[in-house]
Amino acid sequence: MNQLLKTLRDFGLSSYEASAYVALVSSGETTAREVSRKAGIPRTKVYEVLNRLVEKGFAEVQPGSPAIFRAIEPAKIAARMQRDFNERLGKMLKAFEELKMDEKSESKLVWISRGRWAVENRLREFLRENDKVMVFCITENFASVLSEVRGEHRVLLYQKFRVPENIREFRVLDLGRIKKAKDGFVARFAEIIEGTEAGKPEILIISEGSSILALSHGEEYLALSIHLPLIVALQKRMFDTLYESYC
């Protein structure tokens, strides 16, 4: 139920509106008083909440004393939202085309993506764009993106956890050896993996000339798309060292 209410809030309903809509769906035709009781909405606010649902197209009302309310079927609302979304998306794409954005002018430095959805999609896009990759999974939060791996790859796990079936070979770090490492470069890298004030690394993917690093900080996620040869070279060196000597 909590997830359902959260999803409705994601689509622009307030907490009271989401609760009222769920109550209407489960009750069929009903009164404001019954919605108030079932959804836990104060009686002084329930009519206001229900009228907003009517205005937003989530409910219908039959005038009377008392007025009778009923929910618009969820499937119809979903279809309407899909149409509206597609229409807005089409307008947005058309507007971008009119701007004549030149992809070739993109600055090849560092780009940041924020939010779990954006980060996961950027990781998947990076894997689809590159046939040869090195992947270092520190946690399993984004391990599912490895399903996009198709070409030559080396996969290193910070600790053993489930990976997609297309990853037939991978290596797991020997944490004991890492902690005893005398190589200062490796020791410092191990500290960073555990997390710093900047965040905790989740997954690092390296290709020929670029890389992408996903980080988390509490419930926040971000991805750094890196196109700096020196940084990518250092990342490759560290990956090779860990992959060959600490598994």
Are 163 and 154 contacting, i.e. CB atoms less than 8 angstroms apart?
A: no
* Tens digits of residue pLDDT in 107-125: 567 888 999 999 999 999 9
Rounded to whole angstroms, how far apart are CA atoms 110 and 91?
Answer: 29
Are 110 and 227 contacting, i.e. CB atoms less than 8 angstroms apart?
A: yes
The domain ranges of the chain are 2-74, 107-245
Fold for 2-74, please state it: Arc Repressor Mutant, subunit A (1.10.10)
* Tens digits of residue pLDDT in 41-51: 999 999 999 99
- The single-letter DSSP state of residue 179 is H
Of 211 and 246, which is predicted with more confidence?
Answer: 211
pTM to 2 decimal places = 0.59
Rounded to whole angstroms, how far apart are CA atoms 182 and 234?
Answer: 18
How confident is residue 175, by pLDDT bands cut at 50, 70 and 90? confident
| Mean local confidence (pLDDT), 55-68 | 92
| Mean local confidence (pLDDT), 229-234 | 89
Give the DSSP H or E segment for 61: strand 59-62
Tell whether domain 107-245 is in CATH 3.30.870: yes
